[in-house]
């Protein structure tokens, strides 16, 4: 597996990030702050270029396996990011990843969950 993943824990004003190459260990990279989707896209374009990302893994906030307004908002933004960055994306249930105030730590958990699903 030679794909390089970028996991996103999307919030209203900041995004926690983690990367993994070849299905190996997920590592956090600095959280980014944004005011508009265009600003977020610009920052992510640079990160994806620098890190040679091939796929986005986006945490999806569900409550008791049900979609909420935040879930729908995250899905819309995730699809827009995938389109603007010209990358495939996959959504992962992030219900149990927000155990830390550090958004990038949550992104690591999202990515580790995705990687473990690939191994099964």
Domain ranges of the chain: 4-119
Q: Which residues pair with 32 in a beta bridge?
A: 15
Tens of pLDDT along the chain (120 residues) come to: 578 999 999 999 999 999 997 767 899 999 999 999 999 999 999 999 999 999 999 999 877 667 688 889 999 999 999 999 999 999 998 876 555 556 788 899 889 888 887 776
Q: What is the pTM of this model?
A: 0.86
Res 35: pLDDT: 96
Burial annotation 90-102 (CB, 10 A radius, 16+ → b, else e): ebbebeebbeeee
The 8-class DSSP code of residue 119 comes to: H
From 3.30.420.140, 1.10.3720.10, 3.10.450.50, 3.40.190.10, which CATH number describes the 4-119 domain?
3.30.420.140
Res 61: pLDDT: 83
Distance CA 16, CA 105 (A): 7
- Structural contact between residues 17 and 107, judged by C-beta atoms closer than 8 angstroms: yes
């Amino acid at each position: 597996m030679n794909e390089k993943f970028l996991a996103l824990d999307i919030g209203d004003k900041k995004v926690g990030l983690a990367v993994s190459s070849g299905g190996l260990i997920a590592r956090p990279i600095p959280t980014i702050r944004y005011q508009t989707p265009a600003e977020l896209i610009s920052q992510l374009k640079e990160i994806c270029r620098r890190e040679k990302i091939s796929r986005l893994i986006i945490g999806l906030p569900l409550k008791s396996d049900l979609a909420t307004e935040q879930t729908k908002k995250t899905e819309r933004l995730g699809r827009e990011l995938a389109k603007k960055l010209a990358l495939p994306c996959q959504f992962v249930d992030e219900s149990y990843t927000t155990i830390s105030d550090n958004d990038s730590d949550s992104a690591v958990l999202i990515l580790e969950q995705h990687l473990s699903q690939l191994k099964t």
